[in-house]
Amino acid sequence: MPQSNATTAPQIIDHFVAPKCKSNIDILYQDRDILLINKPSGLLSLSGKNPLNWDSVHYRLVNGQTAMEDNNQKTTPAFTEAKLPHRLDLGTSGIMVVGLNQEASKSLNKQFQMRAVQKRYIAMLSGWVSNDSGQISAPIAKDKALFPRVKICFDTGKSAISEYQVIQRLDNPARTLVQFTPITGRTHQLRIHSLEFGHPIIGCDLYNDSKLEHRLEPNNERQQVNQRLMLHASDLYFTHPTTGEAMHGRSPNPFT
């Protein structure tokens, strides 16, 4: 048999296994067509390719959610047709909208694709942000050498814009609570933009906050400030897929 000279791209094997998430999904709103939920930090939005990463928001919604390992009583029912029109990263907590039937999911998917949904986030950043508000504009591209990271690249990157508003500046160590409004929706946009303008999100493992780490005391202070990715999806503005009503989903700030 003749040998082919064609080459194939190297296969990316997912060896990452997410730590067990012991926090529950909270249902904030429910009707016949949608759910508004609060996703805990440390839970995947969708089950991963690695079979050990089966636990996720989608899995719990479709199969029902139990309170504890040794308790089979469901704390939420099974929403067998639940679909996620958007995702949050593993470490990000906060508001998500869920479609409960085919028509609702189709409408929600279209709204996200058309950028008709407005999202806001709360983040704790390293250091004191000098301006009270501003805009970060820096194009984002995949970093093929450091998957799954992205990078700022003015040659091949796609346009990415994030607006911010300072909520509070804190001491010991110096850090800033901000509200982010992403104008575009690139992968890891808020993480890489925060790093780009010199104030990385505290607790970010992919886009390092090593400057903050050096300023923290070795034990308690580091544990209190840096125990999770301090990024939270606080607000979601969209149109109800059935009634046409303007909806505002809100999840309270967990960092105060």
Active site residues: 89
Contact criterion met (CB below 8 Å) for 37 and 96: yes
How many residues make up the chain in this entry? Answer: 256
**Burial class, 11, CB count within 10 angstroms (exposed 0-12 / middle 13-18 / buried 19+):** exposed
16/171 Cα distance (integer angstroms)? 35
Q: Which structure tokens are listed for 90? A: 């593993």
Instruction: Give the list of residues 6+ apart from residue 47 with CB closer than 8 angstroms, or none.
Output: 53, 54, 55, 56, 58, 59
Q: Which structure tokens are listed for 35? A: 């759910």
10 Å Cβ neighbour count for 137? 13
The residue assigned the tokens 């967990």 is: 254
| Single-letter amino acid code for the residue at 18 | A
